[in-house]
Structure 1
Amino acid sequence: MEIIKEAEFIISNTDHTKCPAPDLPEYAFIGRSNVGKSSLINMLSGRKSLAKISGKPGKTQLINHFLMDKAWYLVDLPGYGYAKVSKKVNAGWGTMINNYLTSRENLVCVFVLIDSRLPPQKVDMEFIDFVGKNGLPLSLIFTKADKQSLNKTNQSIAAFRKNMLKTWEDFPPYFISSATETIGKAEVLNFIDKLNQAWKKE
């Protein structure tokens, strides 16, 4: 699967109990605010404006479900770690994301997006550890790879791996992406396709 033929917005909400019935495999995308999540979702879907892109970090404040090829759900989750949002709002998002992630039985993988240009960020590490402690399947996507050399991106990934392996036994599957240059699209979609096949067998 390297092209998504049909992408359809289904529902936005703040309550995990109102998400679609868990009868299809589901993939959640999340990352620090302004990591390029909306751009990545639009690249994967082949639609320019499936996910709303904003210059203002912290724009996504809901759990957004998109149905892909009537076969699986792509879920756009709110970004975390945006300082200008009030503590009360941040706490509310935390509860909402926590409830969603820990209760969706059809959640096949959580894709955590990491800005490939930055050294390991505390907020990313904290979220990844939360995912691990809850036993959720994890993959990493290093975004904005077009903004620097591949060598620099690989150095960032190596630093991230070193940091993560302080608390993790293994480094999870990871992808390098650039929404502007369509880097990583086929790799991520093929990975999802494999997981979909395995989900069907189960």
Structure 2
Amino acid sequence: MSYYTKAKFFTSAPDIRHLKNDTGIEVAFAGRSNAGKSSALNTLTRQKNLARTSKTPGRTQLINVFELEEDLRLVDLPGYGFAKVPVAMKKKWQASLGEYLQKRKSLKGLVVLMDIRHPFKDLDQDLIHWAVASNIPVLALLTKADKLKSGKRKAQLLMAREAAMAFMGDVTVQTFSSLNKHGLPELERILDTWFGLDKKEDAEDSDNEVQ
């Protein structure tokens, strides 16, 4: 069973100042409002309604935090780039995102979700630049991979990996589909590393060998 099935809702906050304890390890998920962020979180945790998918952008104003265990958290950041949202609200969300990335000490990794057919739009690039400047590793997750045939999917992945080199930082690119769980093991492996779960497993294995 996946470790991520343990995720449960912890808190919601309008901005970083209202977030609780900045300790332990957080991994944040961010992306445009139509990038499939909620679906990816639900697929990862094997829970249908952990991150609520909504057709209205208002729901995505809050930073939503899900706890895996004490001091290990998944964070669902506000969606951005939604066409029907007033400019003032967009600016507020962008400021909140930037502040979180630059000031949150427990943030140890950022998953940026992008539709595989439209990767690295301006706001996506801004987000990755912020993370790289703050020395935060990034996973650029190309969602909706089921929309493309295998050859086209591989071509998009290669093109995106080449584009990611321009960020001059720790930026990994993977394809993903919530529909058929394509790329789920790769996503979990990267999260395991960020959360230090791979080291925890190694330590448990060596303890078992000693006994």
TM-score interval, smaller chain:
0.7 to 0.9
> Offset of 1:184 from its aligned partner?
2.1
> Offset of 1:71 from its aligned partner?
5.6
What is the TM-score with the length of structure 2 in the denominator? 0.84
Alignment deviations for residues 100-119 of structure 1 (CA, whole Å, 9 cap, x no partner): 11111111101111111225
- Say if 1:143 and 1:176, in contact at 8 Å, map to a contact too: yes
Greater RCO, 1 or 2 (C-alpha within 8 Å, sep 6+): 1
Q: How many residues align?
A: 200
1:49 matched to which residue of 2? 49
Residue segments in structure 2 that go unaligned for 5+ positions in a row: 201-211
**Partner SS state of residue 29, structure 1:** strand
Written as runs of structure 1 = structure 2, the 5 A alignment for 1:156-195 is 156-165=156-165, 167-169=166-168, 172-195=171-194
Residue segments in structure 1 that go unaligned for 5+ positions in a row: none
Mapped to 1, the partners of 2:55 and 2:46 lie a distance apart of 21
Written as runs of structure 1 = structure 2, the 5 A alignment for 1:86-105 is 86-105=86-105
Written as runs of structure 1 = structure 2, the 5 A alignment for 1:37-76 is 37-57=37-57, 59-70=59-70, 72-76=72-76
What is the TM-score with the length of structure 1 in the denominator? 0.87
Q: Which amino acid aligns with 1:163?
A: A
Mapped to 1, the partners of 2:135 and 2:118 lie a distance apart of 26
Mapped to 1, the partners of 2:145 and 2:48 lie a distance apart of 19
Q: CA RMSD in A?
A: 2.4
Q: Which amino acid aligns with 1:152?
A: K
- Say if 2:132 and 2:170, in contact at 8 Å, map to a contact too: no
Alignment deviations for residues 125-175 of structure 1 (CA, whole Å, 9 cap, x no partner): 23222322333221111101111112212222223233333x323572222
